[in-house]
Amino acid sequence: MEKKPFVSKEKLDEIVREFPTPFHLYDAKGIRENAKALKEAFAWNPGYKEYFAVKATPNPFLIQILKEYGCGCDCSSFTELMLSDAMGMKGEDIMFSSNDTPAEDFQLADRLGAIINLDDITHIEFLEKAIGHIPETISCRYNPGGVFQITNDIMDNPGDAKYGMTTEQITDAFRILKEKGAKEFGIHAFLASNTVTNEYYPMLAEVLFKTAVKLKEETGVHIKFINLSGGIGIPYRPDQEPNDIRVIGEGVRKVYEKVLIPAGMGDVAIYTELGRFMMGPYGCLVTKAIHEKHTHKEYIGVDACAVNLMRPAMYGAYHHITVMGKENEPCDHKYDVTGSLCENNDKFAIDRMLPKIDMGDLLVIHDTGAHGFSMGYNYNGKLKSAEVLLKEDGTAQLIRRAETPADYFATFDCFDIGKKLIAESAKIWK
């Protein structure tokens, strides 16, 4: 597929005049259309609910859009729970899926009435001690081990993942939880990440549905929901075709009718926990070319860095780049596109063929709507960027301001040196 920015050069020039680069820009229209398509794809299941993975894009303005389409929140930390609560998510609108979980996180999840998803059998005792009881509705995370494979392609290696319980453990966990008063049960599993195939979710569903039937037969529990979690990916590369969520939803329906209904489990609700799929293609990092370097290679230095988008530096992940205004020019120049961190892996692209880049050119780095801003950090004292929403009426709204030096020094505010730095920041930073 051809990768085109969701914003025109003219509109972006206008936005940049108001909000200096770098910043993450989000497409409200695309987010809405995608959320609507997902809801329609699983409408065959009366209990269906999407729990947006807050970790992917923890911005209340974007979560609000998804909330309008009936989405809840999937949380993995204390602060994500706080954010979801502040958004008006209540009770079973929140799914809490964590690992190596602190007691205070379980305590807040319980106070909010969230569905708690246990990662390990030892967490039963830990949870009971932390909150004083076992919730009536509870979920457990399953890991079947081995590799997860579609035809001849290995999608991922669950056996090497730190998440979830073995088959024997989840069976024992359900028995123990039932004895301790749990009445409604859920199953959760995450077996592969960022799959770009319509086959993954139906295959995952079949594994979980068969496991659910076995668990019901062996433990006598009532399984209320099966959470297919995330894993539906996006086409980061232009030669990849996107997933068709309607085909995926229909594939899950067929497996549901094949496995669960004959087992008398036609009341099971299907949940999803999508982050990348919900937001990834509908965000981009906007940055400006500010330096060029001609040594052993040709380099273009931009005003963004791995602080703004870590995935290429951390994983060697591919993100497509469009040089705005030069979309139709030949890609006849080979560049490393770099940030300014004192690390050689701070590169958005290596040996990438692009049109000739001139200083001041705006570059759009595609597919940063999930795990883009959220993975940012402050190495080298670099500051995280603003987030901007391109609304359906064509206006741009600031939905998170850029960090300032005062933010960076804020945790020193209890010391004299911190107070001095914060005061100086206010004087010199614009």
pLDDT at 421: 86
pLDDT at 418: 86
Please tell me the distance from the alpha carbon of residue 271 to that of residue 210, in angstroms, as a whole number: 16
Q: At what angle do helices 103-111 and 78-86 cross, to 10 degrees?
A: 20
Please tell me the distance from the alpha carbon of residue 235 to that of residue 227, in angstroms, as a whole number: 23
Could you write out the DSSP letters of every residue in 267-304?
Answer: TPEEEE--SHHHHGGGEEEEEEEEEEEESSSEEEEES-
By three-state DSSP, how is residue 240 classified? Answer: coil
pLDDT at 429: 77
Residue 25, token pair as written in the block: 């820009």
pTM over 0.75: yes
CB 3 within 8 A of CB 320: yes
Question: Please, what's the largest Cα pairwise distance for the chain?
Answer: 70
Which element (helix H / strand E) includes 251? Answer: helix 245-259
Please count the other Cβ atoms lying within 10 Å of the Cβ belonging to residue 383. Answer: 16
First to last CA, the chain: 41
**Segments making up each domain of the chain, as ranges:** 28-280, 281-422
pLDDT at 426: 83
Please tell me the distance from the alpha carbon of residue 294 to that of residue 283, in angstroms, as a whole number: 31
Residue 48, token pair as written in the block: 């269906």
pLDDT at 153: 47
Please tell me the distance from the alpha carbon of residue 76 to that of residue 54, in angstroms, as a whole number: 8
Residue 260, token pair as written in the block: 């669960």
Strands 222-227 and 269-272: parallel
Q: Which residues of the chain have pLDDT under 70?
A: 146-161, 430
Contacts of 293 (CB under 8 A, 6+ apart): 299, 300, 301
Strands 72-75 and 94-97: parallel
> Residue 9 burial by CB count (10 A; 0-12/13-18/19+): exposed, middle or buried?
middle
pLDDT at 158: 54
Please tell me the distance from the alpha carbon of residue 227 to that of residue 415, in angstroms, as a whole number: 47
Residue 179, token pair as written in the block: 């004895």
> Residue 147 burial by CB count (10 A; 0-12/13-18/19+): exposed, middle or buried?
middle
Domain covering 281-422: architecture: Beta Barrel (2.40)
Residue 262, token pair as written in the block: 């004959």
Residues linked to residue 365 through DSSP beta bridges, in sequence order: 285, 321
Q: Do domains 28-280 and 281-422 have the same CATH topology?
A: no
pLDDT at 149: 54
- CATH 3.40.50.2300 matches 28-280: no
